[in-house]
Amino acid sequence: MITPYDPPQDPLEILHEDADMLAVVKPAGLLSVPGRGEDLTDCLIARLAVVFPNVLLVHRLDRDTSGVMVFALTPHAQRSLSMEFETRRARKTYLARVRGKLEPREGTVDLPLTVDWPNRPRQMVCHDTGRPAVTDWRVVSYDEHETRVRLMPRTGRSHQLRVHMLALGHVILGDPIYAKGAAGDYPRLMLHSEELRINHPENGRGMRFRTTAPF
């Protein structure tokens, strides 16, 4: 079940700012870009535009996911950064809490994904029409009924991490779309974009942005 849109009013958290780009922290519950309808206009890029009128979109995070995002401040930077994601040079690391004991301690999910049209925005595994999707995982720690795990997606499909964990039988806790019963009874989706590595759009220098998960 998708909850009503009531975005948090956290102040902007800027990790990095220069003439070409921004790195910021998106809070959980806030859209990256406007949704359809007047009630979905409040979003991270709109808030950034108040301070940085030239801000341009490079990539997105799901509404319920928190963590690092980068934005461009020039058209050249937007093209360069977008290409980093399209060609899979950008390196993303997420932290998640999932139901149950995920074993073995590390591995790879290679399952193609496509939209579940009758149940949009749900996505699903489909070997016939799905687009390639690959996620590496590495367990951080175990609790009594859950696992804390780092997820390193090699591709960037919609809901990729959420559906891949579900396919393994370890749904991400607090997921308003895929979790059922007690697994969904959490104050937020337990998924956080912890680290992003890219090359600077102007000088090519390797850059690493990181923010600690709030859960």
The token pair at 159 is 């809901």
Q: What distance in Å separates the CA atoms of residue 154 and residue 110, rounded to the nearest whole number?
A: 10
User: Strand 134-142 to strand 106-110: parallel, antiparallel, or no bridges (unpaired)?
Assistant: antiparallel
User: Three-state DSSP class for 195?
Assistant: strand
Residues 6+ apart with CB under 8 A from 88: 154, 155, 156
Sign of dihedral through CA atoms 124, 167, 179, 154? negative
Q: Is 39 a catalytic residue?
A: no
Pick the catalytic residue: 39, 62, 128, 143?
Answer: 62
Positions marked active-site? 62
